[in-house]
C-alpha cells in the first residue's frame, strides 16, 4: 500500500550548516528520533515548520534519497514538494517518488494571489500528469494565512473526483476546526479514503471523532509523545487528562515563533547549538523569549535538557 499511515506526524524542523545548506545527516537522525522517542507515527520534512520554502532546490531534491538510504519506511514520510513554479513542484515530487516516497504534501502556487479555482486545478493536474504514477499520493496543503491561496471545498472535491486516490488527503493549517470539518464532510474523510489532518494536536480527538486521520503539527517536534499518549488513551478520565496536557502544551507553543521555539528546544535537548540556525528572514528566539520559553516548559514538566 502506497498511502501514508495515519496518526501523529511532526512537521520536522530542518538543521542548517554554517553555509546555509541542509545538514542531511542531522535531519535524518532527528527524524529517526521523532519516530522513536519523539512518539510520532510519521514525519513531514520540508514543510512550513521545516522552513521548506527557504531550503535550496538542490537540498530539497537530494533529501528523499538520503531518507531512502537511511531505511525510512515509505509510508512514514510525507515530503513537502510545493513550489510557486509548477515545474519545480514536478521535479521535487519526482525526486521523492524515485526514492520510494510517493506521499507528498503540496502547497498551491503561492506567488500570484487570488488565482481562480480553474488555475489552481491546472497546477495540481499538471503535477499528476507530469509525474504520471498511479501510486502517487498527493496531500493538498490548505494554509491560507501563509500561502494566500485558500483551497475551497469545491476545488478539493473536484480534484478528488478527477484523480481519485492520487488525491489522498489534505493538511488543514487554517487553525479553524470548522474548516477541517467542512473538508471531511465534503470528501467523506477517512471513511471514504480521504485523510484530513488538522495542524493542531489540540484538535486530535475532536478530529478523530468526525473522521480525520490524525494531525500534522509543528509543535509535535517537542510534544509528539504527549499527543501519542492522548491518542492511545481509553475514553474517559485518562483521555481527558491526556488531552488537557496536550492542549496546555500547544498553548505554550503558540506563544512563540514556532520554528524558532522548536529549534531552541531541540538545541537544549541535544546540547547542539547548531540547531539554532535559521534560514533568513527567520531569526532565533531572543534571550528574553528563551528564558520565558524555558520557564513555560518547566511549568509543563517537559524535559528539554541535553541527552545523557
**Catalytic positions, written as ranges:** 48, 111, 141, 171
End-to-end alpha-carbon separation of the chain, Å?
Answer: 38
Dihedral sign from CA coordinates of 63, 69, 71, 75? positive
Find out whether 4 and 78 touch, Cβ atoms under 8 Å: yes
Q: Torsions phi, psi of 258, nearest 5?
A: -60, -50
DSSP, collapsed to helix, strand or coil, labels residue 257 as coil
Secondary element (H or E) of residue 8: strand 7-10
Angle at 231 between CA 268 and CA 164, to 5 degrees: 105
Show Cβ contacts of residue 129 under 8 Å, excluding neighbours closer than 6 positions: none
Dihedral sign from CA coordinates of 287, 290, 296, 299? negative
228 vs 120, 222, 243, CA distance in Å?
Answer: 35, 12, 10
DSSP letters along 129-190, please?
Answer: HHH--TT-EEEEEE-HHHHS-PPPHHHHHHHHHHHGGGEEEEEE-SS-HHHHHHHHHHH-GG
Q: Name the percent of the chain in helix, strand, coil, to the closest 5.
A: 55, 10, 35
Which residue, among 298, 240, 215, has the nearest Cα to 39 in the 3D structure?
Answer: 215
DSSP state of 197: E
Amino acid at each position: 500500500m502506497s498511502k501514508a499511515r495515519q496518526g501523529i506526524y511532526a512537521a520536522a524542523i530542518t538543521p542548517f550548516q554554517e553555509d546555509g545548506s541542509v545538514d542531511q545527516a542531522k535531519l535524518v537522525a532527528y527524524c529517526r528520533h521523532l519516530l522513536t522517542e519523539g512518539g510520532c507515527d510519521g514525519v513531514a520534512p520540508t514543510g512550513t515548520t521545516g522552513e521548506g520554502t527557504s531550503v535550496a532546490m538542490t537540498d530539497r531534491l537530494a533529501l528523499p534519497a538520503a531518507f531512502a538510504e537511511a531505511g525510512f519506511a515509505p509510508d512514514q514520510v510525507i515530503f513537502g514538494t510545493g513550489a510557486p513554479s509548477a515545474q519545480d513542484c514536478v521535479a521535487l515530487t519526482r525526486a521523492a517518488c524515485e526514492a520510494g516516497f510517493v506521499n507528498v504534501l503540496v502547497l498551491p502556487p503561492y506567488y500570484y494571489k487570488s488565482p481562480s479555482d480553474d488555475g489552481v486545478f491546472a497546477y495540481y493536474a499538471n503535477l499528476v500528469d507530469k509525474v504520471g504514477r498511479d501510486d502517487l499520493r498527493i496531500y493538498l496543503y490548505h494554509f491560507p494565512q501563509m500561502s494566500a491561496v485558500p483551497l475551497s471545498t469545491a476545488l478539493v472535491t473536484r480534484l478528488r473526483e478527477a484523480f481519485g486516490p492520487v488525491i489522498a488527503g489534505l493538511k488543514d493549517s487554517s487553525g479553524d476546526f470548522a474548516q477541517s470539518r467542512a473538508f471531511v464532510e465534503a470528501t467523506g474523510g477517512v471513511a471514504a479514503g480521504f485523510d484530513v489532518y488538522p495542524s493542531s494536536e489540540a484538535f486530535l480527538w475532536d478530529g478523530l471523532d468526525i473522521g480525520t486521520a490524525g494531525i500534522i503539527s509543528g509543535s509535535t517536534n517537542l510534544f509528539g509523545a504527549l499527543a501519542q499518549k492522548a491518542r492511545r488513551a481509553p475514553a474517559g478520565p485518562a483521555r481527558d487528562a491526556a488531552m488537557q496536557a496536550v492542549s496546555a502544551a500547544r498553548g505554550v507553543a503558540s506563544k512563540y515563533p514556532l520554528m524558532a521555539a522548536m529549534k531552541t528546544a531541540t538545541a537544549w535537548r541535544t546540547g547542539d547549538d547548531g540547531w539554532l540556525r535559521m534560514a533568513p528572514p527567520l531569526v532565533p528566539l531572543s534571550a528574553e523569549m528563551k528564558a520565558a520559553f524555558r520557564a513555560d516548559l518547566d511549568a509543563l514538566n517537559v524535559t528539554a535538557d541535553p541527552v545523557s
